[in-house]
Amino acid sequence: MYAAFDMEMIRLESGLTSNPPMGQTADSKLPQATPDAHRQDIITKSEDTIDNAGLNQITPESKPENIKTQTQSSKLSKALSIVHRNFGKRLFLSMIITFCACFTFLFFGPVEITAFSQDSLHFTVYNIAPVMAVFALAVCLATSFIISIFKETIHNRIITGVFSFLFCGYIQGNLLSGKMGALDGNPVQWHTQKTEMLLDFFIWFMIFYIFYFLLKTNKNIWTKIIKFVPPALVVMQSVALISIFSGVSVKSMDTNKDYLSTADFTTYSSKKNTLVFVLDRLDYEFIDEVLNDDPDFFNQMDGFTSYTNAISEHARTRPALNFLLTGCEDGLWEKPADEFFDDSWSSKINLLDDLNSADYKVDIYTEIDNIFGNIGSAVNYVSNYSCNANKLNKKQVIKNLMTLSAYRYAPITMRPFFWCYTDTVNKGIFKDSIVYEVDELQYADKISDFKLEKNKYFKLYHFNGSHPPYVLNEDGTKDEKGTSSLEQTKGAFNILFSAFRKMKEQGIYKDAAIIITADYGSALSDTDPVQKATTIGLFYKPTGSADTPLETSRAPVSLKNIPATIAKSAGLNTKKYGAALDEVGEDENVTRFFYKGIINDYGTEIMAYKYEINGDASNFNNWKIINEINVKESHSFY
């Protein structure tokens, strides 16, 4: 109040008073008030009628609390004015950039990857295209609106960044892909790509720098680039998209892809079972690794014989698994893979057809494209074949395909964060799926649920075995952080040991014929010919064998002996199949063959080598190249 009094005194002394009424001078005497009354009068006037300048009256709305509200309202109005000013222009530019970016990274990329990888994926282009289209559009609309809210200076900087990323990503995905390799679980040797990483970084940096420099120095050119370059990229990709959907392989695909289901997964015969467990990439080096760690580990395999001089005859799952059941070599790399597979089942030697004729129910648990070609060749023989629709898990589709897209378009330095394995892309893609996924853990979870029927059963299970990534603990449980090849191999076998104990409890172990084998061994490189002797782990328990110690054999065997072994265990005529495993003597002179396809740095199969092996397969001096085959892209098994 004293402050108000001082302001009043200053006002009076400075002559800022109202003019006296007419007829009255400044010297006219006014009624005098007591000091206290005069002071109170001044205070009242200062609070209610005088502003800081002493010129205007203050209304109730001008009190401090109301002034603050008015200030906030003014700021909001100003902000809304800024947003509204040229909002349409900003929204237009934002829509161009975000649509083109979303089209490239969220729609075209996933669709193209799916189209060219459909042999190894459980879903089709027609499954995922609508999902990714809706997702891309939703992201485009939301992002465009949010970017447009910012004032022009900030808005332009943001869309320059988005456009630079789009342009870099397009160049990266189409011209600077580098050595991506096949997503087959093998770790990528990123340390060998240091030069590519530095070049990558320099190109990305320069592109970002150039476009931000244009924004600052030449707005006219910048605007033209923003308006016309992104649509041009979309047009080019749209042409490619038309080509994809008009292609024979995609055009003929139904929305429901055929597959091998988990039906009767742990259902066995109470009388007669022939079982084959394929542990992926079970090279004998892994068996040695286990024996060095624990010499008694395999003693649990009573009734089995371990073949220590065995080879697979192929270097990859495709066509090794097909060869394991057909022994077919005619036409390798001379025709498309699907055609080769179809022909392998249409020959006079057809093991599955013979098993069906002997009243065996045949269940095969692997990815259908590993063994069969077109739909007809599987539906005729396999009881767990299915083409029933599975409900798509849209969230998982988006997540998995976004990871694949990022792996393709991100700079090489960022790719290790998006590296994935084909099996992880397939995993969880359907809700409550009955599609079989290569994974021994789902078998481990059902060991306690073994069921018995009167039917005779032939079953083939394809598990991860010793194939990376290594995620199994020694006890057969999963560790997401990763384990070692030793723990992985032990874990896979311990799951089988648990199954064998359950079979013994149910009284079906002794009469079962059981084969444990690899589909192929471990190669040093997919881009080079064979560089070391490659033998595989192979164990066989004939029907009626049990309660006897594990034996070993140096017989020169291979997967070519498996069809005869299966036929023998099922009581079939084995003459047309050749010799079973236990019919090959250790001293026999057997010429074996091995096929090795090699790929280039971009994952394309370009060459195949045929080797002849005489004698001990673990001695690389016994391996001789006898043929080289130039592989057409359409004839590749990759």
293 and 207 co-located in one domain? no
Strands 385-386 and 551-553: unpaired
567 and 466 co-located in one domain? yes
Cβ–Cβ contacts within 10 Å for residue 583, how many?
Answer: 15
The region that residue 256 occupies, defined by phi over 0 for left and psi between -120 and 50 for alpha, beta otherwise, is: beta
The whole domain housing 209 covers 92-251
DSSP of 602-632, one letter per residue? TS-EEEEEEEEEES-TT-GGGEEEEEEEEPP
**Residue 414 above 90 pLDDT?**
no
Q: Which residues contact residue 154 at a Cβ distance below 8 angstroms, ignoring those fewer than 6 apart? A: none
Q: How many domains are contained in the chain?
A: 2
Q: How far is residue 404's CA from residue 422's CA, in Å, rounded to a whole number?
A: 10
Q: How do residues 201-213 score in pLDDT, each as one tens digit?
A: 899 999 999 999 9
578 and 476 co-located in one domain? yes
Q: Tell which residue, 460, 586, 493, has the closest CA to residue 286.
A: 493
Best mean pLDDT range from 30-44, 98-112, 172-186: 98-112
Q: How far is residue 354's CA from residue 577's CA, in Å, rounded to a whole number?
A: 11
230 and 267 co-located in one domain? no
pLDDT band at 603 (very low <50, low <70, confident <90, very high): confident
Read off the DSSP letter of residue 507.
Answer: T
Q: Is residue 594 part of a domain?
A: no
196 and 293 co-located in one domain? no
Q: How far is residue 472's CA from residue 280's CA, in Å, rounded to a whole number?
A: 14
CATH of the domain at 487: 3.40.720.10
Lowest mean pLDDT across 7-16, 69-78, 169-178: 7-16
Angle at 614 between CA 613 and CA 618, to 5 degrees: 70
Give the torsion through C-alpha atoms of 579, 580, 584, 589, to 10 deg: 40
- Indicate the burial class of 188 (C-beta count within 10 angstroms; 0-12, 13-18, 19 or more): middle
Q: How far is residue 512's CA from residue 581's CA, in Å, rounded to a whole number?
A: 16
Q: Is residue 488 part of a domain?
A: yes
Q: How do residues 434-447 score in pLDDT, each as one tens digit?
A: 889 898 999 999 99
Lowest mean pLDDT across 29-38, 491-500, 549-558: 29-38
Q: Is residue 64 part of a domain?
A: no
Lowest mean pLDDT across 119-133, 228-242, 421-435, 613-627: 421-435
Q: Is residue 521 part of a domain?
A: yes
The answer to whether the CB of 460 falls within 8 A of the CB of 276 is: yes
Strands 605-614 and 623-630: antiparallel
Cβ–Cβ contacts within 10 Å for residue 454, how many?
Answer: 8
219 and 311 co-located in one domain? no
167 and 281 co-located in one domain? no
The region that residue 23 occupies, defined by phi over 0 for left and psi between -120 and 50 for alpha, beta otherwise, is: left
Q: Indicate the residue among 226, 251, 276 that finishes a domain.
A: 251
Q: Indicate the residue among 251, 269, 304 that finishes a domain.
A: 251
- Indicate the burial class of 507 (C-beta count within 10 angstroms; 0-12, 13-18, 19 or more): exposed
User: How many residues are listed for the chain in this entry?
Assistant: 638
Q: How do residues 545-584 score in pLDDT, each as one tens digit?
A: 999 999 999 999 999 999 999 999 999 989 899 999 999 9
Q: How far is residue 132's CA from residue 104's CA, in Å, rounded to a whole number?
A: 11
Would you say the pTM of this structure is higher than 0.85? no
345 and 368 co-located in one domain? yes
Mean pLDDT of 97-110: 94
What's the pLDDT score for residue 154?
A: 92
